[in-house]
Chains A and B, each alone.
Chain A
Amino acid sequence: MDILTLILERIRTLPNLVIEFAPGLFLAVAIFIIGRALVRRLSKATVNASSRINNIDETLARFFGSLVLFAGTLAVIVAALSAMNVNLAFLATIVASLMLALGFALQDTLGDVASGIVLAAFRPYKVDDEVEINGETGVVKELGLFATRMVTRDNIELVISNSDALGNTIKNYYAFGDRRLDMEFGIGYGADIGTAIGALLEVAAEDARIHGDPKPWAKVVELGDSAVILELRAWCKADDHRKIRMDLSERVKSAFDAAGIEIPYEHNTIIPRKVVVHA
C-alpha cells in the first residue's frame, strides 16, 4: 500500500471519526447550554432570596449571586468536559493548585470578604450608627464587602478593613437607642449636699431632651481632695447624648451660683513655720 492510498483511506474515514465523537460533543453542548441557563437562574434566585433577608444589603446579595454563578459555571464546565470523555484529572490538579496559590496570595483580602459576610450576618452596627471600632470613633457611612467606611464628627473619613472590625472590640453607642449621660461636678466641703443634688436634678428636669423615666439620678460618688464629687446620671436619646453634655455644664454653673453652692478650687492647707538658721 503506498502512502497515497493510506492518506486517501484516512480522508475517507474522517467523517466516521466526526460521527463517532459527535454524540459526546452534542451531549456536552447540551449540558453546557442547559446547565448555564440553570446556573443563571439559580444565581438570580440567590440574589433575590438574600436581598430579602434584611441583614444583607444589595452589594452583598450581588456578591453571593456571582459566587453561585462562578461555582455553578465551573461545575457545568466540568460536567460538559466529562461528557466528552476528557480526562479531567490533570485539569483538576491545575485548578486546585491555582486555587491554593490564589488562596495564599489573597489570604488577607479573602479574610476581609469573609469578615464582611460575618458582619453582615451578625450586624453589630448599621449605617448611621456612631461606633468605636479598633479605637476609632465615627459614624458608619458604608458597610462594604472589604471595608467599613466611617466619618468622624470633625469630618475625617476612616476606612477600616472588615477583618480589623471583626477582630477587635466594637462599641456601638446607638445600638440600644437610649444612652445614660454621666457627668461629675465637684462642690465645696462646706456646701449642703442636699441643696446641690436638688439643683442638679432641677437642671436635668428643665431639659426636655432628658427622659423622665428612668428618672435623673444624682449622688455623692467620691470624697475628693478638695471637693465632694457629685455625679448626675440622666437618660436621653443616644443622638442627644453629646449635645446635652455640651449644654449642661454652663447651666449647672448658673444653678450652683444661684443656690450659693461653691465649686472649689484646689485646696491646700498651708502651715507656716519659722526655722532659725545660724549664719
Chain B
Amino acid sequence: MREFLVLPSGQEGPPAFEFSGEGLSETAAYYGEAIINAAIGFAPKLLAAGLVLWIGSWLAGRIHDAVRARTDSIERIDTTLGAFLANAVRYALMGGVVLLAVSILGVEIASIFVVFSAMTLAIGLALQGSMSNVAAGLLLIVLRPYRIGDYVELSGEEGHVEDQNIFQTTLRTLDNVKVILTNNDVRGATIRNYTSLGVRRVDIDFGIDYGDDIGAAMRIIEREAAAHPAVLDEPSKPWTRVSCLNDSSVDIQMRVWCKSADYWDVRFDLLRSVKEAFDAGGISIPFPHVVEIEKVVAPK
C-alpha cells in the first residue's frame, strides 16, 4: 500500500523536523503534497478495481443466465440441478472477480488465499456428510432410476416419488405420509420400481380342502380372473397350478397380469370374487387342522 505514498518531487524524504514555526509549516507542506500525490496515485487503482468489479459481476450474471438456458434445454437435467449448476458457476466467477479487484487495490492476496483455503477445508469437514448426498443426488438425477410419480421402494420405504433434489428424495406413501430420504441412503440401497416396466403380475395363493376337486377350483379361479376387466391376456393369460401341498390345505397359485396401476384393485377384487365363487361352487377354504390322537390301551 505504501507505494502510493509518492514522495513529493525532488525530495529524498521528509524534511528534518525542527521545533520552530518555519519547520512545522515546512513539514505540513511536505505531507500535504504527499497526501495529494497518494490520492492521485490511488484513484486510478480504485477506479480500475471498481470497473473490474462492475464488469465482472455483469459478466458473471450473463454466464449464469447462459448456463441456465443451456441446462434448461437439455432434458436430462432438471430445473433444480440447472439452477444449482448456474449458481455454482456464478459464485465461483464472482469469487475470482473480487480477488482480482482486491489485488488491483494492492492488498496482499497470498495471505488471504492461505486463510481462505483453510476455511474451505474446515467447511469441507463440516459438510462432509451433506456433500456426499449432493454427489449421490447428482448421480440419481443423471441416471434416473425412477421418475417423479413412480411407485417405488427406496431404502425400505414405499411410496410415489414426490420430489428429487440434490440433497434428498421425497416419497408420498399411500396413506399420505411424506417420507424424506437422503440421497446417500437411496443410492446405497436396492431401488425397487413397481411402475417403470408398465405391467405387473398378481400372484395369489388360494388354499382348498384336501377333499375338494382341484380341477373345479382351478376352473373357478380362471373364470373369475378372466372376468375381471383389468386382467390382461398379454404377456400371458391367467395361470393356475397346485403350488404347495400345505399343512391343512392344497394351495393353488393364481398368476394374472395387469397394468402396474391396477395391481391392488385386481388383487383385492379377485380375493373377494374367488372366495364368493368358491362358496357358490362348493369349494371350501379350510381352517388349520389338528389331529387329536387318543391312545387306547388294547386289552390283553
Contacts and interface: CB of A to CB of B under 8 A. Distances in A.
A9 B252 CA distance: 116
Contacts of B176: 176, 178-180, 235, 238
Interface string B146-170: 0000000001010000000101101
A278 B111 CA distance: 103
A114 B127 CA distance: 6
A180 B176 CA distance: 6
Interface string B115-132: 101110111011111100
Nearest to B131: A114
A89 B108 CA distance: 9
A56 to B, nearest CB: 16
Contacts of A235: 176
Nearest to A268: B290
B177 A173 contact: yes
B110 interface: yes
Interface stretch (A42-50, A105-113, A202-210, A249-257): A105-113
Contacts of A169: 155, 157, 179-182, 185
B276 interface: yes
Nearest to A124: B180
Contacts of A193: 272, 275-276
Nearest to B127: A114
A27 interface: yes
A13 B17 CA distance: 7
B14 A19 contact: yes
A91 B115 CA distance: 9
B contact face: mostly helix, strand, loop, or mixed? mixed
Given A85-B2, A176-B172, A96 B118 contact: yes
Contact of A223 (B14, B128, B180, B206): B206
A115 B297 CA distance: 77
A274 B178 contact: no
Contacts of A113: 126
Interface in B227-282: 248, 268-269, 271-272, 275-276
Nearest to B291: A271
B94 interface: no
A16 interface: yes
A100 interface: yes
Nearest to B286: A269
A156 interface: no
Interface size class for chain B? 35 or more
Nearest to A22: B31
B5 interface: yes
Nearest to B42: A27
A96 B114 contact: yes
B175 A78 contact: no
B248 A269 contact: yes
B144 interface: no
Given A23-B5, A269-B289, A102 B122 contact: yes
A39 interface: no
B118 A122 contact: no
A89 B111 contact: yes
Contacts of B69: none
B35 interface: yes
A181 B175 contact: yes
A166 B130 contact: yes
Contact of A189 (B112, B123, B285): B285
Interface string A62-102: 00000000000010001100110100110111011101101
A151 interface: no
Contact of B115 (A85, A99, A175): A99
A272 B291 CA distance: 6
Contact of B114 (A19, A93, A107): A93
B34 A100 contact: no
B16 A99 contact: no
Contacts of A274: 293-294, 296
A127 interface: no
A61 B69 CA distance: 32
B298 interface: yes
Interface in A223-255: 223, 225-226, 228, 233, 235, 238
A168 B39 CA distance: 59
A268 B182 contact: no
A189 B34 CA distance: 106
Contact of A225 (B185, B272, B287, B297): B287
A198 interface: no
B14 A114 contact: no
B14 A269 contact: no
Given A99-B119, A173-B178, A219-B269, 6 more contacts: A78-B115, A82-B107, A96-B115, A179-B177, A219-B271, A270-B289
27 contacts: A13-B16, A19-B14, A19-B27, A23-B31, A24-B5, A78-B115, A83-B1, A95-B114, A96-B117, A99-B119, A103-B118, A114-B126, A166-B129, A166-B130, A167-B182, A169-B155, A176-B178, A222-B271, A223-B275, A223-B285, A233-B175, A268-B289, A269-B288, A270-B289, A272-B294, A273-B291, A275-B296
Smallest CB-CB A-B distances: 6 pairs: A103-B122, A110-B126, A92-B111, A96-B118, A175-B178, A267-B287
